[in-house]
Amino acid sequence: MAEPNFKKQAQLLKLLANPVRLEILAALSGKMVCVNNLSELVSRRQPNISQHLGIMRHAGLIDYQRKGKRICYFIVNEKIEDIIKTLERRML
C-alpha cells in the first residue's frame, strides 16, 4: 500500500480553504461555466473570479475551453467534484 502524500494533501486543503474557491467549484460541479456566468453565480467581480480561477488552474483542479471569445471552465478531476459534493451534503 502506498504511503499518503500528506504534503500534497495539505496543499489541496489550503486551496480549498478559500470560500470563494469553494463557491466557484460548487458552481462548476458537473458542468462547464463561462467566466461571465461565474461572476453572476458567485456574486463577485470578474477580475476576482479570474484570479481564483488562475490559482485553481495552476494547481490542476480546473481547466478551460475557448468558445469563440468566451472562456469556459470545468473541473478536471472527478475526485474534486466528489469532495465538493461531500462538503455540500455534510454542511447542510
Domain boundaries, the chain: 19-91
Pick the CATH number of 19-91 from 1.20.1560.10, 3.90.105.10, 3.30.470.30, 1.10.10.10: 1.10.10.10
User: Do 27 and 42 form a contact (C-beta atoms < 8 A)?
Assistant: yes
pTM given for the model:
0.87
pLDDT at 10 over 60: yes
User: Do 35 and 71 form a contact (C-beta atoms < 8 A)?
Assistant: yes
Q: What is the pLDDT of residues 42-79, one digit of tens each?
A: 999 999 999 999 999 999 999 999 989 999 999 998 88
**Per-residue pLDDT band at 92 (split at 50, 70, 90):** low
